[in-house]
Amino acid sequence: MDRRQFIKTTGYAAAAGGSGLLLPNTAFAADDIAVGSIHDLSGGLDIYGKPMVDALTLAIEEQNAAGGLLGKKVRLVSYDPQSNMQLYTQFAQQAALKDKVAVVMGGITSASREVIRPVLDRAKTMYFYNTQYEGGVCDRGIFCTGVTPAQTVGKLVPYAMKKWGKKIYVVAADYNYGQITSQWVKKFAQENGGSTVAIEFFPLDVTNFGPTISKIEAAKPDMLFSALVGGAHISFYRQWAAAGLNKKIPLASSTFGVGNEQIVLSAEEADGYLLAYNYFESIPTPGNKAFLERFHKRFGADYSNVTELACGTYQGFKLWAEGVKKAGSTDLAKVTTALESGISINGPSGKISIDPATHHCVLNVSLAEVKAKKFNILQTFDQAPPSDTSAVCDLKKNPKDNQQYVIKV
């Protein structure tokens, strides 16, 4: 199945043309609140971006149905950076300086975040990054609502080692997310009496993993850990299964499923993989059931799966909206102060709270196993703090801090 077929689109792409800007600013009244979305709707990262835009669309429509914000309608201004770093920069500038958005929700890879962040910092525009990442960003202008390694890898590695054994082979995307996350895997393995046999990195466009699969087979690890990213890297899982190794060497991942890889692959190829995220569709709560009913009513009963990143984007908007309501304004300083008061929401994944010192979130984390294209939840850890980032970042003491720390592990 082509990856573009398994995620139901919102119809935005047809409006995009070649410009990347999907909803022209002139189509709306001046007296409203603009929210910018910079998510890939084409290119190699569209497997992540399309569900994120759908979730943001739903969140904004729900807000408007409830009366909007501050007595005004909220409108979405959506841009398609096409997995191109230059376009991320261009659209961040356009969103802040031309379209005058109150907040930008956007970025998927850490590389995209790090080209957006300085642009929005200079323009004094609020930025919400709703994607799981490697941790360490310390900047009062950004709120990072996705999970970090202490919250997920720190739970997943010990669980998988107890289940499978202590020798781990790591394959990861070759940029800061994969490079830093692999070091966290190594740290948590050592803390639990294990070791990493080898760590290999791959550019996002690599599709041939044959030589590496042969090396993994020869190394005979107890388990494989994957931090692969993007549409091209789905090829690894296909080739892994074709070699029969998915039946011999079990796999845990900090990225599998956020692009609906379990839908693209067959159950035979992906069953048994272990994952850790804040959100799975299978979370058995009334709040999540109601969220999924609203989502499917809006986008169709046949919508494949609501991803971790989609839910994170929905929850990120809800957190920002609570900050606006508490501040009584969309002003950057006022909303930042409101969010730093420790705002919480009850989202589809459970309770999510802003940690004032880091601008990250305290949230629930669940371990799950892939089974028949779905996620079977095994264990849930309530209210996991962003302890990796809090070790290096305290914006209450150092409000002018503005960098990404590479946390020593």
Domain CATH code at residue 115: 3.40.50.2300
Of the candidates 30, 26, 103, the one whose C-alpha atom is nearest the C-alpha of residue 330 is 103
Domain-ending residue, one of 236, 253, 270:
253
Instruction: Label residue 193 left, alpha or beta by phi (over 0 means left) and psi (-120 to 50 means alpha).
Output: left
What is the distance between the alpha carbons of residues 143 and 324, in angstroms, rounded to a whole number?
14
Among 245, 262, 300, 276, CA closest to 379:
276
10 Å Cβ neighbour count for 141?
18
Residue 342, both tokens: 């420790």
CB 273 within 8 A of CB 252: yes
Tokens coding 269: 């190829």
Token digits of residue 31? 């007296």
> Both 78 and 164 in a single domain?
no
Do residues 243 and 291 share a domain? no
72 and 186: one domain? no
Please indicate, yes or no, whether residues 195 and 139 belong to a single structural domain of this protein.
no
pLDDT at 28: 43
* 27/73 same-domain check: yes
CB 197 within 8 A of CB 287: no
Closest CA to 314 of 132, 51, 9: 51
Domain ranges, residue 25: 12-147+282-363+383-404
Q: Is residue 277 part of a domain?
A: no
- 131 domain residue, yes or no: yes
pLDDT at 30: 58
Report which residue type is found at 77: V
What is the C-alpha separation between 219 and 207, in angstroms, rounded? 21
In tens digits, what is the pLDDT along the chain, a chain of 409 residues? Answer: 333 333 333 333 333 333 344 443 333 445 899 999 999 999 988 989 999 999 999 999 999 999 999 999 999 999 999 999 999 999 999 999 999 999 999 999 999 999 999 999 999 999 999 999 999 999 999 999 999 999 999 999 999 999 999 999 999 999 989 999 999 999 999 999 999 999 999 998 999 999 999 999 999 999 999 999 988 899 999 999 999 999 999 999 999 999 899 999 999 999 999 999 999 999 999 999 999 999 999 999 999 899 999 999 999 999 999 999 999 999 999 999 999 998 999 999 999 999 999 999 999 999 999 999 999 999 999 999 999 999 999 999 999 999 999 877 7
Note whether 350 and 400 are same-domain residues. yes
pLDDT value for 31: 85
321 and 226 belong to one structural domain? no
Residue 100, Ramachandran bin (φ over 0: left; ψ between -120 and 50: alpha; else beta): left
Number of domains in the chain: 2
Cα–Cα distance measured from residue 189 to residue 63, given in angstroms and rounded to the nearest whole number: 44
291 and 242 in one domain?
no
Q: What is the CA radius of gyration of the chain?
A: 20
Residues 6+ apart with CB under 8 A from 17: none
Instruction: Say if residue 135 is in the same domain as residue 116.
Output: yes
Residue at a domain's end among 208, 234, 253: 253
Report d(CA 229, CA 310) in Å as an integer: 16
Measured from the Cβ of residue 309, the count of other Cβ atoms closer than 10 Å reads 25
Identify whether residues 205 and 188 lie together within a single domain: yes
Does residue 2 lie in a domain region?
Answer: no
Task: Scan for tokens 């190794």, then name that residue.
Answer: 245
Strands 103-106 and 360-371: unpaired
In a domain, 349, yes or no: yes
Position 232 scores a pLDDT of: 86
Does residue 339 belong to any structural domain of this protein?
Answer: yes
Q: 65 and 114: one domain? A: yes
24 shares a domain with 140: yes
